[in-house]
Amino acid sequence: MGVVNEWIGQRRVELLKSSVAMQEQMLGGKGFLVIGYLLEKSSRVHITRAVLEQFLSFAKYLDGLTHGAPLLKQLCDHILFNPAIWIHTPAK
């Protein structure tokens, strides 16, 4: 199941990278707020290093965009800096 979730997550990131319209939808619909909430409620087995690396990769991508700051802020606020998601993950 973890491999399937990882594959789905990678496809979502690719879709967001390839479509400004999807990025605008994520921003307007507070997509990272929703994803953050779902991650908070999900089993800790789904919060893996691969998931973190996908979010970090997308954050780096957004940082390189001239219009990426608002979406990067949502990603940081609701996922990357959300202690409720990461508190139970291993330090490594």
pLDDT of residue 8: 57
Identify the burial level of 23 via C-beta atoms within 10 angstroms of its C-beta, where 0-12 means exposed, 13-18 middle and 19 or more buried: buried
Instruction: With respect to residue 46, please indicate whether it lies within any of the assigned structural domains.
Output: yes
CA dihedral sign, ordered 5, 39, 53, 67: positive
Instruction: With respect to residue 92, please indicate whether it lies within any of the assigned structural domains.
Output: no
Q: Give the pLDDT confidence of 34-76 residue by residue, as tens digits.
A: 999 988 998 888 788 888 888 999 999 999 999 999 999 999 9
Q: Give the pLDDT confidence of 27-41 residue by residue, as tens digits.
A: 999 999 999 998 899
Instruction: With respect to residue 51, please indicate whether it lies within any of the assigned structural domains.
Output: yes
Q: Give the pLDDT confidence of 4-24 residue by residue, as tens digits.
A: 455 556 777 788 888 888 889
Instruction: With respect to residue 24, please indicate whether it lies within any of the assigned structural domains.
Output: yes
Instruction: With respect to residue 91, please indicate whether it lies within any of the assigned structural domains.
Output: no
Instruction: With respect to residue 30, please indicate whether it lies within any of the assigned structural domains.
Output: yes
Domain count along the chain? 1
Instruction: With respect to residue 38, please indicate whether it lies within any of the assigned structural domains.
Output: yes
- pTM, full prediction: 0.83
CB of 81 closer than 8 Å to CB of 37: no
Tokens 């921003």: give the residue. 27
Tokens found for residue 35: 């994803």
pLDDT of residue 4: 45
Q: Is 30 left (phi over 0), alpha (psi -120 to 50) or beta?
A: left
Count how many residues are written for the chain. Answer: 92
Q: Which domain does 25 fall in, by range?
A: 2-86
